[in-house]
Amino acid sequence: MRAGKRVIFLCGRPLEECLNAIEQFHGWKAPGMVLGVFMVDWALERLPPGIEADAVVETRHCLPDAVQLFTPCTVGNGWMKVLNWDKFALSLFDRRKKNGFRVWFDLQKAQRVPELYQWFMRTVPKKGLPLETLLDRILEAGREVLSAGPVSMTDLYQRHKKSGIRVCPECGEAYAAAQGTICRSCNGKGYYRLEDDRDDASSSLVDPP
């Protein structure tokens, strides 16, 4: 992979290390993840040093993993919110001052890199755009296919606090009191049907040899 002669640093790490980290964490060097590192890198660079930044990511695909891998923000610690908008964009912001930077994939700029544009708009079948080619284009382009700008947060800047908790009289599990007098699952709005009897600790889904 061509990455230039001098060592490029992204998010404070050498590029090669970033790419390896992506592969380990995400399973493969997904182009969206690689592009995501450039986006996180740009946003981090624009924030004053030492601030505790939270994140909003506007797609569920790839980008949340880039934020989780290259910033302290994760879904689990509540510092990152993920929107299902399918917009390839993210914001990192100072949650106290409610301002920060948004970085997005800029379609107009991307037209100068046809393979990236085609990949992003899904106008060419996957096998027509080999991964190596895509990664090369991304590494060559970097910020040239992105835009960034300062933003003031108007929403989503608050961290979710745990609300009241209640024990469900039907299943005996604790749940968010806001769901009502019985839990969502017992109210028929769950996502599963309990099969057979409950497991005890000694049984497992794996058949004995």
What does the binding site for Zn ion look like in residue numbers (CB under 5 A)?
168, 170-171, 183, 186
Closest to Zn ion by CB, 47 or 171? 171
Measured from the CB atom, is 59 or 185 closer to Zn ion? 185
Q: Nearer to Zn ion by C-beta: 142 or 180? A: 180
Task: Find out whether 27 and 20 touch, Cβ atoms under 8 Å.
Answer: no
For residues 171 and 4, what is the distance between their CA atoms, to the nearest angstrom? 59
In the complex, least distance from residue 165 CB atom to Zn ion, rounded to whole angstroms: 13
Q: What is each CA distance from 129 to 2, 36, 115, 124, 198, in whole angstroms?
A: 17, 19, 7, 7, 48
d(CA 49, CA 96): 14
Residue 16 or 170 with smaller CB distance to Zn ion: 170
CB of 201 to Zn ion, least distance (A): 21
Q: How far is the CB of 181 from Zn ion (least distance, A)?
A: 10
Q: Give the contacts of 62 (CB within 8 A, at least 6 positions apart).
A: 26, 30, 32, 33, 35, 36
Residue 153 Cβ, how far from Zn ion at the closest point, in Å? 36
Least Cβ distance, residue 202 to Zn ion (angstroms):
25
Q: Which is nearer to Zn ion, 53 or 186 (CB)?
A: 186
Contact 116, 138 (CB under 8 A): yes
**CA separation, residue 93 to residues 82, 116, 136, 176, 180 (Å):** 14, 28, 30, 28, 34
